[in-house]
Amino acid sequence: MARLAETRRETETARTLLFDVPDWPGHLAGQHVDVRLTADDGYTAQRSYSLSAPDQVELAVQRIGDGEVSPYLTDVIGIGDPVELRGPVGGWFVWRPGTGRAVLLIAGGSGIAPLMAMIRARRLSGDGTPFTLLYSVRTPSDVYFADELRRPVPGLDVTLLYTRGTPDGWLRPPGRLTAADLDPADTDRDCFVCGPTGFVEAAADLLVAHGHDPRRIKTERFG
C-alpha cells in the first residue's frame, strides 16, 4: 500500500504526486506502476502511470477531462490518503546508466514523465552520456518540471517545441515536431519516444525517415 506524501502542481491540469511505499523494491528509469483505486462500496478502477523519478515513487498525472482515475489523482486525493500501487512494471522502455551510447528523448505533453526519470537517473548516476530532449507542448504554461528543465546540466540539451503559443520573441513558429527539429548529422542515438499515440507514431516515423535505426527507437504511448 502507498500513501500520498507530497504533491507539486506542474500545470493547470497536472500535478506530481510523491508516495511513501514501505518495502518498495526500487525501479528502473522508464518503468511504470498500476494505480488501483477502491471506492467504499468495493468498486475499483485501475490505470497505468509512468514513474517520473528513478529514486522515488513519483508520478506526474495529467487530468483527463472525462477520466475516471486521473481527476481523483490531480484534484481529490489528499496527503496521507492510501492507494494501491502495483509495480514496477515494464522492462523494455527503460534506460540504464553506463551504456556509453548517446540518447535522444522525445516527449509529447505528459509523455515527459518516464523521460524525466531517465534525465534524473543520468544526473544521479553521474553518467556523462550526451542526452538531448525534444519536448513538445502546447504553450509555455504546459511545461512539466519547468524549473528543473531550465537549470543547465552538462551534456543535457533541452529544446522545447511549442505547438500553439510561444514565449515572446521565440524564433521557431508554433507547430508540431518536424524533420527540421531533428539534427541531420546526429542519428547514432538510442531513442525514447513517449506521448499520445498520434504524436508517437509521427515522431517514430520521422526518426526512421531521418536515418535512425528502427531497432534503437523505443516507444511508449497512451491515450
Partner 1 sequence: MGIVSPGFHGRRRESAGGLPPGQYLTNDFPVLSAGPTPRIPQDEWEFTVTTESGREHRWTWREFLDLPSETPQVDIHCVTKWSKLGTEWQGVSLDVLLADVETEADYALAHSYGGYTTNLPLDDLLDGKAWVVHRYDGEDLEPEHGGPARLLVPHLYFWKSAKWVRGITLLTENEPGFWESAGYHDYGDPWREQRYQGD
Q: Which is nearer to partner 1, 148 or 205 (CB)?
A: 205
Task: Report 90-119 residues binding partner 1 (CB under 8 A).
Answer: 90-93
Residue 188 contacts partner 1 per CB under 8 A:
no
In the complex, least distance from residue 123 CB atom to partner 1, rounded to whole angstroms: 26
Beta bridge partners of 106: 134, 193
Residue 187 contacts partner 1 per CB under 8 A:
no
| Residues contacting 100, CB < 8 A, separation 6+ | 129
Q: Which is nearer to partner 1, 100 or 214 (CB)?
A: 214
Residue 124 contacts partner 1 per CB under 8 A:
no
Give the C-alpha separation, 107 to 34, whole Å: 21
Give the C-alpha separation, 122 to 116, whole Å: 10
Q: Which is nearer to partner 1, 83 or 105 (CB)?
A: 83
In the complex, least distance from residue 169 CB atom to partner 1, rounded to whole angstroms: 35
Q: What is the DSSP letter of 140?
A: G
Give the C-alpha separation, 7 to 10, whole Å: 9
In the complex, least distance from residue 40 CB atom to partner 1, rounded to whole angstroms: 5
Cis? peptide before 214, omega within 30° of 0: no
Say if residues 208 and 179 touch (Cβ distance below 8 Å): no
Count how many Cα atoms sit within 13 Å of the Cα of residue 25 in the half-sphere of its side chain: 8
Q: Which residue has the cell 475499483?
A: 44
Q: Which is nearer to partner 1, 44 or 168 (CB)?
A: 44
Q: Which residue has the cell 523494491?
A: 25
Residue 45 contacts partner 1 per CB under 8 A:
yes
Q: Which is nearer to partner 1, 86 or 172 (CB)?
A: 86
Q: Which is nearer to partner 1, 37 or 137 (CB)?
A: 37
Q: Which residues bind partner 1 (CB under 8 A)?
A: 1, 34, 36-40, 42-48, 68, 72, 76-78, 81-84, 86, 89-93, 197, 201, 204-205, 207-208, 214-215, 217-219, 221, 223
